[in-house]
Amino acid sequence: MVGRNIISAIAIVGLGLLIGACAYNNKGADDSITEAEKRADDPRNENYRSGDIYSGYIAMTSQTRDMQDDDFANPGFVWIDTGEELWSKPMGSKGKSCASCHGEAAKAMKGIANTFPRYDPKTKEMMALQAYLNRHMVDDMGAKKLKWESEEMLSMAAYVKLQSRGLPIKVSLNDQNKSFYVKGKKFYDERRGLLDMSCAQCHTDNSGNMARSNVLSMGMSNGFPTYRMKWQGMGSLHRRFIGCNKNIRAQPYKRGSEEYTNLEFYMLQRAAGLKWETPSVRN
């Protein structure tokens, strides 16, 4: 099933690029208009802003935006289809599926994306969605843990977050989670690695500027898990953190680590007001 889905994803990517190219050519655009100008003048931008902040969608090429907007052309929906199958599939020794307890995902999971990472009284730490899914599969279904970046886990996480697509991000700070927000902000602002750089230097101080061939976004997390063109597949936010740390020659942390989970929580606060886009498409 996964192999067939990947083949389908490759086909969909090609179709999406063709659709985007045709859509642009049919507009009779002036060749003198730069890609940056096309992005800036795109009327869709207003749907991806909230006050002074904006989604990574606005930093993407016109063709990538077209691909995300079309659920048929969006390659992330190959993983969504797998997630939908897994939702109703019994897994583990107890013969239960997610649907056994939660019923229809469209109702039960609506708005859930806004609740992760969440404070976990058992560990007294923040817990990301993937860690939460693994706990329930082990404790309630008698299943084995899924690897953070596995096809199955990415599919499940994307399918759950899809149910919040279009809803604004809204997260409340309280006595239990505020200290983790502070830790996440510290990580975001702290310089590290051989290049002595922080997250903020790229995504706050230089957002909108070019980094090689790409426009630096504001580093918003509202589209993850995302289908990234560079990866030719879906990936988690923590995978993106690892990539950024490697780019500045810093030692990365493990997926699901306390450091990355706190950073994810802080970034969720930064994105407050933007709408969930999962599954987004990024360059």
Residue positions annotated with a catalytic role: 244
Q: What is the DSSP string of the chain?
A: -HHHHHHHHHHHHHHHHHHHHHHHHTTT--TTS-HHHHHHH-GGGGGGEETTEE-GGGGS-HHHHHHHH-TTT-THHHHHHHHHHHHTS-BTTTTB-HHHHH--HHHHTTTGGGG-SEEETTTTEEE-HHHHHHHHHHHTT-PPPPPTTSHHHHHHHHHHHHTTTTSBP-----TTTHHHHHHHHHHHH--BTTTTB-HHHHHTSSTTSEETTEE------TT-SEEETTTTEEE-HHHHHHHHHHHTT-PPPPTT-HHHHHHHHHHHHHTTTSBP-SSEEE-
CA distance 152 to 147: 8
